[in-house]
């Protein structure tokens, strides 16, 4: 309904509106989904960045061999698996998540994991009870999802690992978590503190079935704050008072 309101009240205010069959002004859900997928492909499929990262990883292995680096470059769907060169039919599924759809167009999605020896020591010392999974990129100008693994030390929260995935989907996050689990065989905290993200929670349930995901206080308080200041809720509270 929003496109119709925008066309009527903004683009053609006090004018005759185009017919509702005109998809230039009244796009279907599939049109909107396709535009979202094109934007995702544009931001997340840079071969130049991949080449730079591959060089960086090799340099890191030479300069600091004790540092663990794992890099997988993305590979687009091959012609054998996608004869038409474009895997578009799934875009027609209106209930299909755009990220999942674009991710399925890759034979291999990009993955970069890094952990220094000091970070590994932090895991050994402070990961028994709670480990945090923080999607840091949400507060910064990053096109690709950057995640930090943090532990609570005696004085602060410290980074004990970091990884970048191409898409914030459960499968991509799970793949990264499995790398860290292989690097840190003792990593099995009682709790994982996460954002309210179904992708993160689902990935943790699979990668660490004995651990329990819990929401961090910040997002819980943020949700309460937004709920309390909704107009309808404020009105109900005033009527109760």
Joined tokens for residue 195: 């954002």
pLDDT of residue 190 exceeding 80, the answer is yes
Question: Per CATH, the architecture of 45-74+109-228 is what?
Answer: 2-Layer Sandwich (3.30)
pLDDT of residue 93: 37
H-type alpha helices, 151-230: 170-183, 198-207, 217-228
Q: Distance between CA atoms of 155 and 13, rounded to whole angstroms?
A: 59
Q: Which helix (H) or strand (E) holds 106?
A: strand 106-108
Q: For the chain, what are the domain ranges? A: 2-32, 45-74+109-228
More confident site: 136 or 80? 136
Q: How confident is the model at residue 23 (pLDDT cuts 50, 70, 90)?
A: confident
Quick one: what percent of the chain has pLDDT higher than 90?
38
């Amino acid at each position: 309904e929003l496109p119709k309101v925008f066309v009527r009240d903004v683009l053609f205010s006090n004018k005759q509106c185009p017919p509702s069959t005109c998809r230039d002004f009244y796009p279907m859900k599939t049109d909107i989904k396709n535009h979202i997928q094109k934007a995702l492909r544009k931001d997340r499929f840079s071969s130049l960045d991949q080449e730079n990262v591959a060089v960086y990883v090799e340099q890191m292995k030479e300069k600091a061999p004790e540092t663990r680096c794992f890099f997988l470059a993305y590979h687009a769907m091959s012609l054998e698996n996608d004869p038409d060169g474009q895997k578009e039919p799934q875009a027609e599924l209106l209930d299909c998540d755009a990220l999942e759809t674009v991710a399925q167009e890759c034979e291999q999605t990009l993955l970069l994991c890094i952990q220094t020896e000091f970070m590994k020591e932090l895991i050994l010392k402070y990961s028994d009870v709670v480990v945090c999974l923080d999607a840091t990129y949400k507060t910064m100008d990053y096109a690709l999802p950057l995640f930090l693994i943090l532990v609570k030390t005696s004085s602060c929260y410290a980074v004990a690992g970091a990884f970048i995935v191409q898409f914030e989907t459960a499968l991509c996050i799970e793949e990264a978590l499995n790398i860290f689990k292989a690097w840190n065989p003792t990593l099995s905290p009682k709790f994982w503190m996460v954002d309210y993200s179904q992708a993160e929670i689902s990935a943790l349930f699979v990668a660490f079935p004995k651990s329990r995901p819990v929401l961090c206080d910040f997002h819980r308080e943020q949700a309460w704050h937004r709920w309390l200041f909704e107009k309808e809720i404020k009105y109900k509270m005033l009527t109760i008072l």
